[in-house]
Structures are given as structure tokens and as C-alpha cells.
Amino acid sequence: MALTFYWYPKCGTCQKAKKWLDAHSIDYTSVHLVDDPPTKQELLDYMDKSDLPAKKFFNTSGKKYREQNLKDKIDDMTADDMAELLASDGMLIKRPIVTDGDNVTVGFNEETFTAAWL
């Protein structure tokens, strides 16, 4: 099954992840994370399948995260609230998100990608 690769083309981390997927001849469909972010329900599903805390889906180093002062608000939010906020603005989402429908990785780490996608 082909992967879905949510990315932002200008993001260096996304470029590294894409290069890794290409180097390993892994079939994927790329989705522009800002133009076409995952829906709230998709994000809730990804959160569940990733076994990561919901707040790990936030791009904490991003400008929008800082502008909205989310660091001080995130601990009081439910996963549902977080998914709704993330779905509203792809720039808030940690990238890339890669999924095959059953497994999900967030961000790029070569060891994690090797374990998940090879």
C-alpha cells in the first residue's frame, strides 16, 4: 500500500524525509500540508494510531505556534480541541506526517522511518 506523505515543500525536514523515501523506492502520495491539511477526524485517527501524545502533532518551533502562545494553552486542551485547531491551519502541524492507514510517523527520524517503512 502506498503511503500518504503530508509535507510542506519548503521545509528542510520534509525534504530530508522525501529524499529518504525516494532513496528507498517507497511509493507514496504527497499531500501539501498547508494547502490540504488532514481533517480533524483524520488527525484524531493519526493521534490514536501513532501512540504519541496529541501535543506531539504541533510544530512547536513554528511562527504560528508562538504567535498564538500555544505553549501556555496546550496542556489545558483535549485531544479533540487540538485536532480541531491543527486541522484549521496546516502550519501548526509538525511535519511531515506519514501514514499507511495503520501506522503513523510524525517528523523525520531515520531510525523511526527505517522501523516503520522498510
CATH number for the domain including 12?
3.40.30.10
Q: What is the pLDDT of residue 77?
A: 96
12-66 pLDDT per residue, tens = 999 999 999 999 999 999 999 999 999 999 999 999 999 899 999 999 999 999 9
Per-residue pLDDT, averaged over 76-84, amounts to: 97
Domain coverage including residue 42: 3-117
Q: What is the pLDDT of residue 92?
A: 98
Q: What is the pLDDT of residue 80?
A: 97
Residue 1 reports pLDDT greater than 70: no
Reported confidence tier of residue 11, pLDDT bands at 50, 70, 90? very high
3-state SS of the chain is: CCEEEEECCCCHHHHHHHHHHHHCCCCEEEEECCCCCCCHHHHHHHHHHHCCCHHHHECCCCHHHHHCCHHHCHHHCCHHHHHHHHHHCHHHECCCEEECCCCEEECCCHHHHHHHHC
14-28 pLDDT per residue, tens = 999 999 999 999 999
Rounded to a whole number, what is the distance in angstroms from the first to the last CA of the chain?
12
Q: What is the pLDDT of residue 59?
A: 97
Q: How many domains does the chain have?
A: 1
